[in-house]
Amino acid sequence: MTTPTTTTTTTPATAVSTSGHDLPDRPLRLGTRASALATSQSGWVADRLRAAGVRVELVHVRTEGDVSRASLRQIGGTGVFASALRDALRAGEVDLAVHSLKDLPTAAEPGLVVAAVPEREDPRDALVARDGLTLDALPRGASVGTGSPRRAAQLALARPDLDVRDIRGNVGTRIGLVRDGQLDAVVLACAGLSRLGRAGEATDRLDPDVMLPAAGQGALAVECREDDRPLARFLRDVLEDAPTRAAVTAERAVLARLEAGCTAPVGALARAGADGALALTAFVALGDVPRRHAETGSDPVALGHEVAEHLLSRPDPVVGRSDDAAAGGSLFTGA
Ligand SMILES: NCc1[nH]cc(CCC(=O)O)c1CC(=O)O
């Protein structure tokens, strides 16, 4: 007769109690894409969780967005980055996943919950240009790379003279196009640059009056299974930042409402105002007509829907930079 050897491990019978959270006594498995950006933000979350007293191991998950060179639209939009991670979560292969919030579809994912939205990085877009140039200082006709219709539409308004080129690739690849002289500049998220330790390469940080970021840009979403209540509570208690959650909820509500009817480029940015109210500004280019609208409110979802409805029904047209506007007027009638 043999005694099962598996019972001889010294695992304590009780679960780890980390400041009152009953988590299983094994490392948390954090699913991440293998890209430099994904591992950087997953590593940041893992470090925060470790500082709170738990063990965490990173599990690399390959997504179609990493493998395919086809355009994002061809392979199913931004959700391609999230779907493989979500499959791994649902299958129980990992316990939590970290996403760039702006890459998450707005639809709720059955069985999963965004347990925490940590404090946001700089939400703005950045220009990485040759010779330290800012957007205003780029010479007439300069070539600027972006694969984002949102960035392209707003660049065309701010600087109609620019030659906007459609580009693909990760942050390093895109900056490389400037370094090797193929482009004068590229537009990238400030947050991505700083997560890669490359914030110093930004030559301009674009004012949201000129370039509204994508909904959720600069923020992370930490997701787990909805029925994993102790973990969801732990993630919220350790990582959640309420002001960021409110802001990105409002921004994503705009996106959700506008997406219902179109695939137009959308920008949205909410910030806490003086009295705790949210100030939300959104941009959409419907057909060839760019529109922008700002409102304040206290309920993030209601505010987002209100701004979206306004854009759809009573748009404030955006005035592009004509020669008069360039002489000092606001770029936008509504802002
Ligand atoms: N589209 C890819 C992507 N997803 C998240 C970021 C940057 C980090 C963030 O916005 O949170 C980037 C790169 C970029 O847009 O420059």
Q: Closest ligand 1 atom to the C-alpha of 213?
A: 10
Q: What would the pLDDT profile of 238-263 be if each residue is shown by its tens digit?
A: 999 999 999 999 999 999 999 865 66
Q: Residues 29, 98: contact at Cβ < 8 Å? A: no
pLDDT-wise least confident of 137-141, 223-227, 328-332: 328-332
Residue 11 confidence (pLDDT): 39
* Helices marked H in the chain: 36-51, 64-67, 80-90, 149-158, 171-179, 190-195, 229-239, 242-259, 300-313, 323-326
CB atoms within 10 A of CB 74: 10
Which residue from 301, 291, 294 is spatially nearest to 280, judged by alpha carbons? 294
Of 243, 196, 192, 205, nearest to 129 by C-alpha is 205
pLDDT over threshold 70, residue 153 = yes
| Residue 187: pLDDT over 80 | yes
What are the phi and psi torsion angles at 21 (to 5°)? -100, 130
State the amino acid at position 117 in one-letter form.
Answer: V
As given in the structure block, the two tokens for residue 102 are 């702006």
User: Which residues have CB under 6 Å of ligand 1?
Assistant: 100, 102-103, 171, 188-189, 191-192, 217-218
User: Binning pLDDT at 50, 70 and 90, where does residue 289 land?
Assistant: confident
**Is residue 96 within 8 Å of 89, Cβ to Cβ?**
yes
What pLDDT is attached to residue 261? 57
Q: How many CB atoms lie within 10 A of CB 299?
A: 15
Distance CA 28, CA 189 (A): 29
Nearest CA to ligand 1 atom 15: 189
Q: How many angstroms does the Cα of residue 250 sit away from the middle of ligand 1?
A: 19
Share in percent of the chain as helix, strand, coil (round to 5): 35, 25, 45
pLDDT at 260: 66
CB 89 within 8 A of CB 104: no
The pLDDT-based confidence of 155 (bands split at 50, 70, 90) is very high
Catalytic residue (choose from 50, 62, 73, 168): 168
pLDDT score, position 13: 40
| Topology, domain 246-319 | Double Stranded RNA Binding Domain (3.30.160)
Position 294 pLDDT exceeds 70: yes
Query: What is the rounded average pLDDT for all residues in the chain?
Result: 86
Per the listing, tokens 């946001």 go with 120
Q: Residue 112: exposed, middle, or buried by beta-carbon count in 10 A (0-12, 13-18, 19+)?
A: buried
- The helix/strand count (H/E) of the chain reads as 10, 15
User: Domain 18-118+219-240 belongs to what architecture?
Assistant: 3-Layer(aba) Sandwich (3.40)
pLDDT band at residue 314 using 50, 70 and 90 as cut-offs: low
> Is the per-residue pLDDT at 320 higher than 90?
no
Q: Residue 81: what pLDDT?
A: 76
In the predicted structure, residue 323 carries a pLDDT above the cut 70: no
Ligand 1 center to 198 CA (angstroms)? 13
> Of ligand 1's atoms, which has the minimum distance to the CA of residue 103?
4
Residues 120 and 219: beta-carbon distance below 8 Å: yes
Ligand 1, atom 5, residue with closest C-alpha = 100
| Residue 7 pLDDT level (bands cut at 50, 70, 90) | very low
Sign of the Cα torsion 148, 154, 157, 163 reads negative
Average pLDDT of the residues in 144-173: 96
Q: Which CATH number fits domain 125-205: 1.25.40.10, 3.40.190.10, 3.40.50.2300, 2.40.160.20?
A: 3.40.190.10
pLDDT tens digits for 70-120?
A: 544 444 455 677 899 999 999 999 999 999 999 999 999 999 999 999 999
Question: CATH 3.30.160.40 in the chain, residues?
Answer: 246-319
Whether this model's ipTM surpasses 0.85 comes out as yes
Sign of CA dihedral 133, 137, 143, 148: positive
Would residue 195 show up in a list of annotated catalytic residues for this protein? Answer: no
Q: Look-up: residue for tokens 């102790």?
A: 230
pLDDT, tens digit, 9 for 90 and up, residues 211-242: 999 999 999 999 999 999 999 999 999 999 99
CATH 3.40.190.10 segments of the chain: 18-118+219-240, 125-205
Please tell me the predicted confidence (pLDDT) of residue 276.
78
Among candidate residues 33, 120, 124, 174, the one labeled active-site is 174
Q: Identify the residue whose tokens are 């409805």.
A: 309
- Beta strand 28-32 pairing with 96-100: parallel
DSSP 186: E
CA nearest ligand 1 atom 7, residue: 192
Active site residue 48: no
Atom of ligand 1 nearest to the CA of 191: 8
pLDDT at residue 319 in the model: 57
